[in-house]
Amino acid sequence: MVTYIEANKTKRKTLGIIPLYDEEGFAKMRKAGQLTAQALDILFEKVRPGVTTLELDRIIFEFAKDNGAIPATIFYRGYRHSICTSINHVVCHGIPSNKPLREGDIVNIDITLIVDGWHGDSSRLYPVGNISRKAERLIEITYEAIKRGIEQVKPGNKIGDIGAAIQQYVESQRASVVRDFVGHGVGQRFHDEPNIPHFGTKGTGIELREGMIFTIEPMVNLGRPNVKILADGWTAVTRDRSLSAQCEHSLGVTKDGCEIFTNSPKGLFNPLEAQKNNK
Ligand code: MF3
Ligand code: CO
Ligand code: CO
């Protein structure tokens, strides 16, 4: 059983219900999503061999402060940074450190900025200098996967249609989809209902309705889908140490499709592609 409520008319104490937002909520998400996208745009120039992920974290902390936003991850369940930086075989939730990025690394940077209480959650995969063809292919697969997932977002489709489109494509490329982390409702809460798995069966799950707002954030591995969490309690890595990639958008279901809130104003959502086009 699913229940939907109008987000601005009810105080929710419990989960199990899916908020539906009106144009006011969409406008707030547009603002938060665009600031997050701007933050990720800044990093396009900054991600270079030799830079540390702590330096990048600092840049985003300052950017948020200058723009009246709060990074949602600071103090989130004991997390202490403004961004997550997941390098190579790190699947997600990598913690910024003082270790420099190296030529050939691939790094996912995930940012959630809170603007007026609304959460814009997005991540991109940045190549560090020149990367291997194998890493390039993984990035291409991941960006094509999110695109195919987003194409399924329209009223009447099911949540399972999103995961099915992503999984089917990724596995057809002989890569795998992580099961342990999923997309999520987002808005005035960081992680809300519903869950959006990046795997599944067409025609199953909750029906998408106009006004739903959630993320799609597939994690794609070149090896097996299995992950483990390191002793720091956060860093998720592939069990087989294979390369892993991710990208993420926050979006809202519209009358006949969806609106992506976290599109890059500069067309830099896929930094690898943007880099190639600039050459
Ligand atoms: N931004 C991540 C997501 O896409 C969540 C990061 S939580 C943290 O849902 F604490 F690890 F930062
Ligand atoms: Co998210
Ligand atoms: Co995120």
Model confidence pLDDT, tens digit, residues 157-171: 999 999 999 999 999
What pLDDT sits at residue 14? 54
- Alpha carbons within 13 angstroms on the beta-carbon side of residue 157 total 23
What pLDDT sits at residue 15? 61
Ligand 1 mutation pick, 75, 90, 112, max ligand atoms within 8 A of CB: 112
Q: Which atom of ligand 1 is nearest to the CA of 73?
A: 12
Ligand 1 lining (C-beta closer than 6 Å): 73, 76, 79, 84, 93, 110, 112, 121, 215, 217, 234, 248
At a CB cut-off of 8 Å and minimum separation 6, what does 211 contact? 6, 7, 20, 21, 22, 25, 252, 253
What pLDDT sits at residue 16? 76
- Alpha carbons within 13 angstroms on the beta-carbon side of residue 246 total 37
For the ranges 9-23, 77-91, 113-127, 202-216, the lowest mean pLDDT is seen at: 9-23
What pLDDT sits at residue 5? 72
Model confidence pLDDT, tens digit, residues 111-165: 999 999 999 999 999 999 999 999 999 999 999 999 999 999 999 999 999 999 9
- CA-to-CA distance for 245 and 200, rounded, in angstroms? 19
Are residues 89 and 7 in contact, defined by beta-carbon separation less than 8 angstroms? Answer: no
Going by pLDDT thresholds of 50, 70 and 90, the confidence category of residue 75 is: confident
Average pLDDT of every residue of the chain: 96
What pLDDT sits at residue 182? 98
Q: What is the residue-wise DSSP string for 16-55?
A: SEEEE--HHHHHHHHHHHHHHHHHHHHHHHH--TT-BHHH
Asked whether the predicted pLDDT for residue 267 surpasses 60, the reply is yes
What pLDDT sits at residue 6? 75
Element (H, E) at 72: none
279 alpha carbon – ligand 2 mean position (Å): 31
What pLDDT sits at residue 210? 98
Give SS3 for 77: helix
| Arithmetic mean of pLDDT, 31-57 | 98
Going by pLDDT thresholds of 50, 70 and 90, the confidence category of residue 13 is: low
Q: Helix H segments across the chain?
A: 23-46, 53-66, 133-151, 159-172, 271-278
Q: Cα-Cα-Cα-Cα dihedral of 50, 56, 62, 66, to 10°?
A: 110
CA distance readout (Å), 67 to 21, 33, 60, 116, 204: 25, 13, 10, 11, 41
What pLDDT sits at residue 1? 55
Are residues 226 and 238 in contact, defined by beta-carbon separation less than 8 angstroms? Answer: yes
- CA-to-CA distance for 176 and 171, rounded, in angstroms? 6
218 alpha carbon – ligand 1 mean position (Å): 13
The rounded Cα 274 to chain-centroid distance in angstroms is 18
CA nearest to 32, candidates 80, 68, 57: 68
Smallest-distance ligand from the CA of 232? 1
Going by pLDDT thresholds of 50, 70 and 90, the confidence category of residue 278 is: confident
Are residues 95 and 87 in contact, defined by beta-carbon separation less than 8 angstroms? Answer: no
Asked whether the predicted pLDDT for residue 10 surpasses 80, the reply is no
CA nearest to 185, candidates 151, 220, 219, 209: 209
Model confidence pLDDT, tens digit, residues 191-228: 999 999 999 999 999 999 999 999 999 999 999 999 99
Q: In this structure, what token pair is assigned to residue 241?
A: 């140490």
Return the amino acid letter for 135: A
Asked whether the predicted pLDDT for residue 253 surpasses 90, the reply is yes
Q: What is the percent of the chain where pLDDT is above 90?
A: 92
C-alpha angle 147/148/152, rounded to 5°?
110
- CA-to-CA distance for 167 and 149, rounded, in angstroms? 9
Ligand 1 mutation pick, 53, 77, 86, 110, max ligand atoms within 8 A of CB: 110
